[in-house]
Amino acid sequence: MAIRLPIAPALGIVTAMDALWMAGAAAVGAGFGWVFPGVQHVLYSEPQYRTQAAAGRKLLGLRLFAMSAAAVSLALALRPDFYEAGPALLTAACLLVLVALSSTDFDRRRIPNTLTYPAFAVALALCWAWPDRTVGEMLLGAGAGVVAAMALVGFGVLLGGGGLGLGIGDGKLIILMGAMIGWPGVFPAVVYGILLGGLVAVVMLVRHGRGATFSYGPYLAAGAALALLFPSLR
C-alpha cells in the first residue's frame, strides 16, 4: 500500500509562514515609518531645524510616505527565495536608511551627516556579507560613487546650480549608494534615480518655471532600492 505524504498541506504551511513573515516585516517597516518622522529633526546640524519637529499635515504626510515605503521595502527584502537571513536583514537595514534620508530630504531638503556617515562606515564594514558581490566589488562601488557624485554635482555647479539640480547632500547619498550596492550596480541605480527625479523636474518646470525647487534625494534612494531589491536590474 502506497504511503501518501502530506506534501500539499506542508507546502501550504510554508507558503502561509512566508506570507506571515513578510507581513511581520511590513508591520515593522510601518512602525518605523510612523515613528521616525516625528524624531528626525534631532539629526539636523542646523539649530533652527534641530529644535523644530515636523507637525500637522506635514508630519502626517511624512509619516504616510515613510510608512508605505518602509513597509513595502521590508516585505520585499524578506521575501522567500531572495537572500538568506543575514543578507536579507542587511538589505532591510539599507532600505530603512534610504527611507529615513528620503524623509529628511522631503522635510528640510537635508541629507544629514549624522546618518549618512555612520551608514557609510557600517556599509563598508559589512561589505563582506553579500553573497553575490565580492569585497572588491563593494569597495570599487564606493569609489565609483565618489566619482559619480563629483561629476554630477560638479556638472550642476557648472550649469549654475538651481533648485532642480543635484546638491552636495545628493552627492553624499550617491557615495552611500555605491557602498551599499557595489560595482557595477551603483551606476544603474544612479541612472534610475536620475530618470525618476527628471520626470518630477519636468513637471516642476512646467508648473512653476525655472525657479522651482524639489528634493532629488528620494528619487536617488528609489533607484538604490530597485538595485538592492532586484539584482537583475543592476
DSSP letters for 66-98? HHHHHHHHHHHHT-TTS--HHHHHHHHHHHHHH
CA within 13 Å, CB half, 223: 24
Q: Distances from the Cα of 192 to the Cαs of 54, 137, 165, 179, in angstroms?
A: 29, 20, 16, 17
pLDDT tens readout for residues 121-175 = 999 999 999 999 999 999 999 999 999 998 888 776 665 555 556 788 899 999 9
Helix, strand or coil for residue 195? Answer: helix
pLDDT tens readout for residues 25-35 = 999 999 999 99
CA 145 to chain centre: 15
pTM: 0.89
| Number of residues in the chain | 234
Q: Distances from the Cα of 70 to the Cαs of 133, 159, 162, 205, in angstroms?
A: 24, 35, 30, 29
140 by Cβ neighbours in 10 Å (0-12 / 13-18 / 19+) ranks as middle
